[in-house]
Amino acid sequence: MIGRLRHMLIKEFIQVFRDKRARFFLFGPPIIQMLVFGYAATLEIRHVPTAIVDYDNSQVSRDLISRFEGSRYFDIRARLANRRQIPDMIERGDVMMAIQINSGFAENVRKGQTAHIQVIVDSSNSNTALIGLGYVNEVTSNFSRKYQLESMQRTSPLAIAHMPKIVLDNRPWYNTDMSSQWFFVPGVIGNLVLVIVVTLTAFAVVREREIGTLEQIMVTPIRRTEFILGKTIPFFIIGLFDAALISAVGTLWFRVPLRGSIAVLALGTVLFLLCVLGIGLFISTVSNTQQQAMVTSFFFIMPSITFSGFGSPISSMPEFFQYLTYINPLRYFQIVLRSVYLKGVGLDVLWPQMAAMAVIGLFMLTVSVLRFHKSLE
C-alpha cells in the first residue's frame, strides 16, 4: 500500500508542478491577493468627495468649512454658488455629499439660537452614507462645543470653571490603534486557503475524469482509498504551505502581531484544511466537467465567505442565516485566526471552534469518500 500511495503522490506532485504557470498560480496569486486585500479591505471611509454651498459667507461659516477641509475624512471637490448644482454633481458621481450653510448662520450662532446646516447625501451606498453623516456630526459637534466654550469664557469665565464635565476614557484592547488591517488580514488568510484548496481538490479529480485517465488509473492495482489519499494529501500539503506563506506576509508585511501560539494556529489550520478537502472532494463527485466544478465551487465559496463574519458581524444577520453559519467551517476558522493573532488565546478558549471544525471535517470527509466510491462504481 505504501509503495502504491507513494507513486500516486509522486504522480500528483509532477502533475501540479510540471507547468511553470501552474507553479506560479499556486503561490504567486495568494501573495498578490493578500497584499491587495490587506490594503483595499477596510472599514474606514476617508476622503469623502464633498461639495460646499455657503450662503452665509461669514467668518463663522468659513471657520466651520475649514474644519471640513482640514479633516482627513472629507475631500472638498467644489464650492458651489447655487444649490441647484448639487443634484447634477451627485448624479454624475462627482461628489457623494453636499453641505449647505444657509444665510444667517453666524447670526444665529452669536445669538445662541439653533443654526441649521443641511447635508445632502448620496445614500445609494447606505454604509458609506451613514459613516459620512457620522463624520459630519462629529465635526459640527466639535465646532459647536468649542464655540460655546469660547463664548462662555468671554461672558462668564467663573461659571465655566465650575461647569461639570464628562470625559470618556477610551481603553481599546487587542487593537489599540483600531486598525482595519489588523482585523481584515487574518480573515483574508482563511478566505484564500478556502479558495485555493477547494478549487484544487475539485478540479484535480474532475480533470482526471474529463480527459479519461480516471478509468485508466482505476484498472491498475491501486485501491480506491489509496487513490483518494493520493489526490487529497498533495493539496493538503500545498494548502498548509500556502497558509504559512500568506500568514508570514500578513505578519511581516502588514505588521499584524501574532500574539498567540503557532501550535494552536497550526492545529486550527489543519482542522480547517480537512474540512475544505472534504468539501472539494464532494464537489468533484457531483461534477462531470471542470466547468461544472468551477460553478459549484463558486456556489459554495461566496456564501461561505459572506456567512463567516469576515466583513460584517454574524449578529447583524437575520436569525435564520445566523443558524446557517454554524455549518460553515470558515466561521470557526475566522474566530481562531483573529483570536490567536490579536488576543493571544489558547485551546482553553478556542476548543469549541476546534471541536466544531473537527466534527464538520470528519463528516464531510466521510460523506465525500462514500460518495466518491459510489461515483467510481
Q: Domains of the chain, with CATH numbers? A: 2-41+177-376 (no CATH), 48-161 (3.40.1710.10)
Instruction: Give the lowest-confidence range in 59-63, 204-208, 255-259, 295-299.
Output: 204-208
CA–CA distance, 150 with 68 (Å, rounded to integer): 20
Q: What are phi and psi of 318, to 5 degrees?
A: -55, 150
Instruction: Provide the pLDDT for residue 327.
Output: 92
What rounded mean pLDDT belongs to the chain? Answer: 83
Q: What is the mean pLDDT of residues 39-63?
A: 85
pTM: 0.80
Inform me whether the pLDDT recorded for 19 exceeds 80.
no
List, as one string, the DSSP characters of 4-62.
HHHHHHHHHHHHHHSSHHHHHHHHHHHHHHHHHHHHH--S---SEEEEEEESS-SHHHH
Instruction: Give the lowest-confidence range in 2-6, 44-48, 101-105, 305-309.
Output: 2-6
CA–CA distance, 354 with 269 (Å, rounded to integer): 10
158-215 pLDDT, tens digit each: 666 666 777 777 788 888 877 888 888 888 899 989 988 888 888 777 777 776 666 6
Inform me whether the pLDDT recorded for 374 exceeds 60.
no
268-321 pLDDT, tens digit each: 999 999 999 989 888 888 877 888 888 888 888 988 998 998 878 888 888 888
Inform me whether the pLDDT recorded for 370 exceeds 90.
no
Inform me whether the pLDDT recorded for 375 exceeds 60.
no
